[in-house]
Amino acid sequence: MKILIIGAAGMIGMRLARSIIKDDFNGAINDITLFDVIPPKIENHKNSYKIKTGDISDPNIISELINQKPDIIYHLAAIVSGDAEENFEKGWDVNAKGTWHLLEGIRKKFLTSNGSYKPKFIYASSLAVFSGPYPSAINDDFSPNPETSYGAQKLVGEILINEYSRKGFLDGVALRLPTIVVRPGKPNKAASSFYSSIIREPLNGIEAILPVPENLCHWFASPLSAVRFLRHAAKLDFKKLGNRRSLNLPGVSCSISEQILALEEIAGTKTSKLIKKIPDKKIEEIVNNWPQNFMADRAIELGFVADKDFKDIIQIYINEEINT
C-alpha cells in the first residue's frame, strides 16, 4: 500500500508522517511519500520514505505525485486563516485551486486506468466552514455558511470531495478538525494561534498575549488526537458515509477562562500571571464567528474519540514538548 501526505512539513503533517513511518500500519505500507513546499523534518528511521517538494497549485507537480498511484492521500496543506484573509489570491490559489488541481489529477488517473485507480482521499477541513448564529451545540445537520475567506475555501474543498466521490473518481472524506492546541513552536498567522500561545508560552516562562475576552468558548483537540483522527479515517468503510462526506469531529468545548483555570491547576497561578490582555478587534471579529460546541454523533458512531478534557490537552503538550 502507498501513502501520500500533502502538507507533510506542517505540525500535524509531520506528526502524522512520524506516526505512520514508525509502524507503517503494522507492515501494510510499502511506500510513503511526504510532500510540501519545504522538506519536512523527519528523523532517520528504519522504515524508508520519500520526500518531494513543490507547489500544489502547479498541475504538473500534482500529475507527478498522482502518477505514483498512492492508495491513501492525506491533504493537509493550506494557507492558514489569518493569512488567507489578508492575502486573498494566495488563499484561493492554494486552499481552493490547489485542492481542485489535486482532485483533477486523481480523476484523470482514474480515467486513464479505466477506473482501476480509486484512492482514499482524506481532507483536513475546518470549523471555519460555519458561522453564527449558533445553537447551544452544532449537530450534524447544521448547514455550513462561512464568513471568512479561509472558511469559504475549505467549504469549496468539501463540496469538491463530495462531488468527486459521488462520481466515483475517489473515496473521499472531509474531516472538520477542532482547533488544534497546544501547538509547539512560535505563533503563526492563524487567527486561532493565541489559543496555543496562552498555554505554551506561560508553561515556558514567557509572557503571552490574550487578544479576546475570557468568556469566549471554542472547540479543541490535541495534536495527538488530530493524528488519531487522521489515522482512523484511513481505516473507515467509506460506504458508511453515504453521500455526506464531511464529518464534524469530536472535541472539547472550553472557554478561555476554563483554559486558564486548567493551566493553573496543572502549573500554578504563576503561569496565568504571564497572560496579558491586549484586545485585538480584528482577531476578535474572526473568532467570534467560530462555533463553540458540537454534537459530533456521526463521527463518534464511526469510532472517532476526543480528548478527555482541557487538562488532558495541556498534559499532552507537557509530556510531548517539555518532558522529552
Closest CA to 273 of 215, 189, 207, 177: 207
The three cell numbers of residue 76 are 493537509
Per-residue pLDDT for the chain (324 aa), expressed as one digit of tens each? 999 999 999 999 999 999 999 887 777 888 999 999 999 988 766 667 899 999 988 889 999 999 999 999 999 999 988 889 899 999 999 999 999 999 999 999 999 999 999 999 999 999 999 988 899 999 999 999 999 999 999 999 999 999 999 999 999 999 999 999 999 988 777 788 999 999 999 999 999 999 999 999 999 999 999 999 999 999 999 999 999 999 999 999 999 999 999 999 999 999 999 999 999 998 888 888 889 999 999 999 999 999 999 999 999 999 999 987
| Domains defined along the chain, listed by start | 2-177+222-248 (3.40.50.720)
DSSP 174-201: EEEEPEE-PPPSS--S-TTHHHHHHHHH
- Nearest-10 Cα torsion for 158, 71, 73, 221: 90
- Measured at the CA of 69, the angle between CA 122 and CA 100, to 5 degrees, comes to 50
3-state secondary structure of 50: strand
Kindly write down the DSSP assignment for every residue of 263-321, as one continuous string: HHHHH-HHHHTTEEE---HHHHHHHTTS---B--HHHHHTT----S-HHHHHHHHIIII
Q: Of 264, 265, 268, 232, nearest to 247 (Cα)?
A: 232
CA angle 252/258/259 to nearest 5° reads 75
Query: Among all chains, which residue has been given the C-alpha cell 492575502?
Result: 87
Query: Are 103 and 39 in contact, with CB atoms under 8 Å apart?
Result: no
Using alpha carbons only, give the angle 146, 150, 151 rounded to the nearest 5 degrees. 25
Distance, CA of 127 to CA of 67 (rounded, Å): 32
Amino acid identity for residue 40 in this structure: P
Which set of grid coordinates corresponds to residue 44?
A: 532517520
Active site residue 150: yes
- Is 178 buried (19+), middle (13-18) or exposed (0-12) by CB count in 10 A? buried
Residue 210, helix vs strand vs coil: strand
Question: Whole-angstrom Cα distance, residue 248 to residue 251?
Answer: 9
**Which residue in 49, 150, 195, 317 is the catalytic one?**
150
How far separated are the first and last CA of the chain, in Å rounded? 32
